[in-house]
Amino acid sequence: MSGFRALPSVDQVLLAVPSLIDAHGRQAVTRTARLRLDAARAAIRDGADGAAEAARLPHLVAADLAAAAVTQLRPILNLTGTVLHTNLGRAILADEAIAAASAAMVAPLALEFDLQTGGRGQRDDHLRGLLCELTGAEDATIVNNNAAAVLIALNTFGQDRDSIVSRGELIEIGGAFRMPDIMARAGTRLVEVGTTNRTHPRDYRDAITDRTGLILKVHTSNYRIEGFTAEVAAPDLAAIARDAGVVMLNDLGAGSLVDLSHWGLRREPTVAEAVAEGADLITFSGDKLLGGPQAGFIVGRRDLIAQINKNPMKRAVRLDKIRIAALQATLRLYRDPDRLDQRLPVLRMLSRPQADIAAQAARLAPQVAALLPDYRVALTDCASQIGSGSLPTDTIPSAGLRITGVGGDAPDRLAAWLRARPRPVIGHIRDGGLILDLRCLGDDRDLLDALS
């Protein structure tokens, strides 16, 4: 019983830690103190010394509060070699987009207010003109991601009707997003045509009935079917849909606004090309190759966009002011394509020469070795990839550091230690070593400070 008497009351604990109350608030400190007192009583019942438990209380309360204040949602160093890493937040925003988003956070905006007339405006108007200018489309609308863009388009034109799609394009992407499931949620009936590897124009024509609402083409951005293959090109599919009087929807997925081959990457179909090829509607992402925050765009015929905007689902998937501001700033960068790779982080990382990365690796290797004395650090060639389903079979020559240690679990131990740093460092394990691909590393000090 004497051991329990050594423990302070909750009020006494609070009096001993005024700085914790200032930092975390009285309620949080009180709750933590009570939990720690309960734990101390349990320890005393098991034979612990009461005075010792009492002496530890302020430190344990402080440690618990500090641990609770640490967020998992904190900046990391992406040295995985995947530039657009879905699990790490995809695109890093341009400085202009960050500034615009910050401005939107601290003051009211004319989000849905027309400054000229004083009446109500439309939030999509802040982006509609830019999207039409950059893609050549008649009109555009914006939702919170590309899955929502596909969903609302299918629901608007395919609900209780048939949607025709090639079997070879029934994709599944990360997070168990399956096109057949999205179609079912949209209320449209899936009609598969062709086979896994070959689909012909006649397959689409034969499937069209008076129940057909639309024809869907899906860009297979996260896999390739090679060998004995055939698919119907978008212009031919648009003509088939036009002759039948049904909507042709082309889902580009990542959706690039520029020709990536200009920077030495294999070209992906651009949105402007898809518009020119005659698709009625095109959907694509804002946070992948475009390099902005998460968003989904639908561009195409004005009359069809108007119908989508009347869909009650539109309000449920609309964008907030912060992302609209960031997207507007990002899209404006595309008006100056000659400097795009200097101002858009995604393109700057993707177009970074291997020689530049190799020189950085050579500078860093001895300094990293000094910070990790129990490990061996060597230079290594790497193969980066775009990520997020873009050009899945293509890699980009890169360079980095290969770190090995004693014991078969050395790479796993080091990877766990790096993940636990105040600024976590994320690489990938390959062939018994931890690989840090430096393609996405900016300043050398970012890595050195993270390891210090």
* pLDDT tens-place values along the chain, 452 residues long: 568 888 999 999 999 999 999 999 999 999 999 999 999 999 999 989 989 999 999 999 999 999 898 888 889 999 999 999 988 988 999 999 999 999 999 999 999 998 989 999 899 999 999 999 999 999 999 999 998 999 999 999 999 999 998 887 776 665 566 788 888 888 999 888 888 778 888 988 989 999 999 999 987 755 566 666 677 788 899 999 999 999 999 998 888 899 888 888 888 789 999 999 999 999 999 999 899 999 999 999 999 999 999 999 999 999 999 999 999 999 999 999 999 999 999 999 999 999 999 999 999 999 999 999 999 999 999 999 988 666 666 789 999 999 998 888 999 999 999 999 999 999 999 989 999 999 999 999 999 999 98
Q: Which has the closest alpha carbon to 128: 290, 293, 272, 331?
A: 331
* Strands of the sheet with 375-384, listed across from one edge: 375-384, 396-405, 433-437, 428-430
Token digits of residue 41: 């009583």
Q: What is the pTM of this model?
A: 0.88
pLDDT of residue 239: 93
pLDDT of residue 225: 64
Specify the 3-state DSSP secondary structure of 337. helix
User: Which DSSP letter does residue 198 get?
Assistant: B
State the Cα–Cα distance between residues 220 and 204, nearest whole angstrom: 18
pLDDT of residue 155: 95
State the Cα–Cα distance between residues 420 and 414, nearest whole angstrom: 10
- Whether the CB-CB separation of 269 and 179 falls below 8 Å is answered with no
HSE-CB at 264 with a 13 A cutoff on CA atoms is 12
Q: Which has the closest alpha carbon to 207: 157, 166, 160, 174?
A: 166
- Whether the CB-CB separation of 325 and 109 falls below 8 Å is answered with yes
Give strand pairing partners of 164.
191, 215
Task: Name the phi and psi angles at 346, rounded to 5.
Answer: -60, -50
Cα dihedral 69, 73, 78, 80, rounded to 10, equals 110
Q: How far is CA 364 from the centre of its chain?
A: 28
pLDDT of residue 275: 95
pLDDT of residue 9: 92
Specify the 3-state DSSP secondary structure of 110. coil
- Whether the CB-CB separation of 376 and 405 falls below 8 Å is answered with yes
| Residue bearing tokens 């893609």 | 135
